[in-house]
Amino acid sequence: MAARPVSGRVRTEPLGEAVETAYAIARACQEHDQPDVPFSSLEGYRAAVANGWPDYAYERSLGLLDGEPVGLLTLGLPQDDNLDTVDLELGVLPSARRQGVGRALWELAVARTHELGRRHLIGPTVQRHPDGGAFATAMGATTGLEEIRSRLDLATVDQPHLDKLLAEAWAGAGDYRLVQWSGVAPDDIIDDVAYLSGRLLTDSPVGDLAWEAQKVDAERIREDERSRARRGRTTYHSGALRDGRLVAVTTISVENEKPAQIWQSITLVDPEHRGHRLGLVVKLENLRYVRESDPRVEVIDTFNAASNEHMLRVNRAMGFQPVESLIQWQKTVA
């Protein structure tokens, strides 16, 4: 992509090799928008940029104000499914907002969506700062999905309560067996992991977003895990087996250079095996697995659709507390 002049003061240009510049902008934006989420080191950020999700292509651009880089645009382009969508991350230094840089980067994103033959731009804003939502609305985007970020503080967690919850959950899941692993799943269950992972956008609320079911197979699961490892992340998984088949799974991801704050990721249960409290079983067992494997963990964050009352109720039972709301915005490009 060539540089694109926008006005006398604002222009955009491809990121190229300016990873340190992108890092400085991304870090400043997150420290302003989500100050309780620690940001990666420069080395960790370089690893993340060099090792994105294997089924995605990425385009990154800078927004410049009077020649100084103050904005960053990342476009994520799914390659195997959701071929009509473009995932958007757009940030402008707080000191440079409301001067046309965000609009210039947005217009670049719209233009690239046109050029690539795609139709939907999707990206988030943090609701604690209303300027993000006001910007998205001004750009013609509409609310697609509200998400809640919740946090479990392990310093104050009620462990006897968790032990009681786990015992009660296992009482309803007596015919199932626990399996745990870190990294790539064992060969005898990896096809089941792929099947469950492929149900994520089918079973989870997606609001009005134009997300379609993902095409997931065993090799995609393996490559996803290899990609996480190259980005310096360790994953912990717990699942429930019935007759040798994996029918429930959950994942926690740890960024190795900052293990105090970690992420609870997907929790999925095969529809045929719901009603046995398997989601709670695997989440509680995985929490114990991670704490035993890495005692440096202090807090766990997770995202859920605001409409996913079942999983929010499970999280509240474990002690998770809501921290903030995010909106996933969508713009359909004519």
Q: Using one digit for the tens of pLDDT, what is the confidence trace for 185-209?
A: 999 999 999 999 999 988 889 999 9
- Give me the pLDDT at residue 70, please: 98
Helix, coil or strand: residue 190: helix
Token pair listed for 236 = 């912990």
Cα dihedral across residues 123, 141, 132, 4: positive or negative: positive
Mean pLDDT over the full length of the chain: 95
User: 44: closest CA among 315, 295, 254, 304?
Assistant: 254
Token pair listed for 40 = 């990666």
Instruction: Tell me whether the CATH fold assigned to 4-118 matches the one assigned to 149-325.
Output: yes
How confident is the model over 91-95, as a mean pLDDT?
96
- In this structure, the number of other CB atoms found within 10 A of the CB of residue 331 comes to 21
The whole-angstrom separation of Cα 274 and Cα 173 is: 10
Cross-strand bridge partners of residue 254: 234
The whole-angstrom separation of Cα 318 and Cα 159 is: 9
Domain range list for the chain: 4-118, 149-325
CATH superfamily of 4-118: Gcn5-related N-acetyltransferase (GNAT) (3.40.630.30)
Q: What's the pTM?
A: 0.93
- Give me the pLDDT at residue 218, please: 97
Q: What is the number of H-type helices and E-type strands within the chain? A: 10, 13
Whether the predicted pLDDT of 2 surpasses 70: no
Please report where in the chains the tokens 């609305």 appear, as a residue. 137
Question: What percent of the chain stands above pLDDT 70?
Answer: 98
Query: Are the C-beta atoms of residues 60 and 73 closer than 8 Å to each other?
Result: yes
In the structure, what pLDDT confidence band is assigned to residue 109 with cuts at 50, 70 and 90?
A: very high
Whether the predicted pLDDT of 270 surpasses 90: yes
User: Would you state the CATH architecture of domain 149-325?
Assistant: 3-Layer(aba) Sandwich (3.40)
How confident is the model over 199-225, as a mean pLDDT?
94
Whether the predicted pLDDT of 125 surpasses 90: yes
In the chain the first and final C-alpha atoms are separated, in Å, by: 22
- Give me the pLDDT at residue 295, please: 95
Whether the predicted pLDDT of 124 surpasses 90: yes
